[in-house]
Structure 1
């Protein structure tokens, strides 16, 4: 595992960022080969393991492709936008963020106890950050969601720009820290908010919310971020389509299933 640098970033993330910048700048054109692993080890003063971690990230982001006997060949100059797989995709998350504005309401440093560790999927005693985030539509001050965002303390470098950075944090983790979100696990429950949560969302007495918990996992199922987002039931609908095995072809295009509003977070 790559050790963190004084600035808080893992070494492999710094190498990923440097090589990606060189590719964008044209220093490594399409079809060219990146320097060999020994050359990169010498250039950055790191181990082979760290270099390979950086190259895997570039490969996962669609920038390079390994070729036997040649090394890592540049196949694109910009990272792929990978969240394009229908219901299982995170594309809706990106679209939702673009249509809202975020206000950070809290920031708290935590030492994780046993109960919270079991919920987050980490070890007791680890240091994490918790952010409170309220979202409103771009054309209104009426709140739409209230979220608790949990991040490992190693990702604290993202917090300096958090109030003005309108990207989803999972995208910032990828773009700034060189990580790859491999999977998002999601749980949905209907709950009654606490009095403080109800006040923040301008809810009436006894008005329920939908609570969506998402765990963003990297390689080897490492937890990179956990969010718990409360949505007002009055203006939120979650829809999904299920197909039965052996059900044949989808409905004829002249008789489609009426689309419902897609879930976003």
Structure 2
């Protein structure tokens, strides 16, 4: 039985109660509710075991499909990592990400997903394949997803290998940079980001961060240098088009070019923060006209 809420912006809940309560036998409903709870408690372990069996079957299917895809395509993961070819790697791992990150396997931090969140099921792939998948996530601005999956791997497999420890260090360093920025330590965060960017020039999250901070601190030449590269490298990522609009607006006061960039960015990004920022800027520009 599902508990479906009724939403209305015009009618208060008391009006709903007045409509349906006269039609309900309160005592009978209470008895049914108690019996249902007894049944749920009596079958709880069986339901959990069944759900775990289903999750393990799903995990095995994801594992087999990924390994077959790697074998059939004759892909050399090590070579792709050396070439930093994250477009090909992202496409290769997309179904794996979808399957491993499904709430049936790793849950969620909400009421219905918390049991599986505390007891996740791992898609048991070879360590070198898992590492390639995690490095791809980290370098394509999906750091939180990589962090969660590495924690699941460590919980199920034990101590991390040197390669995976390196991936964790990348995540930790990047998050520290963002934390410093949020705490107002702008210079420190920029210095650390620039050092990290020298080591990982293909890390999209770093590119986004540096574009943003360079524009905010009016380091326009540095911002444009990264933007020119990223617009070509990520033609479908609207976030960089949004930053290009910021550049035109703040460096050149070129309102029309900025608006064109913002409109293009709004179409090509699904990032909620970027969309909110674009809406706010467009409202300000419309108010000034």
For the criterion TM > 0.5, the same-fold answer is no
Please state which structure has a larger fraction of its residues in helix.
2
Larger Rg: 2
The TM-score normalised by the length of structure 2 is 0.25
| Structure with higher RCO (Cα < 8 A, 6+ apart) | 1
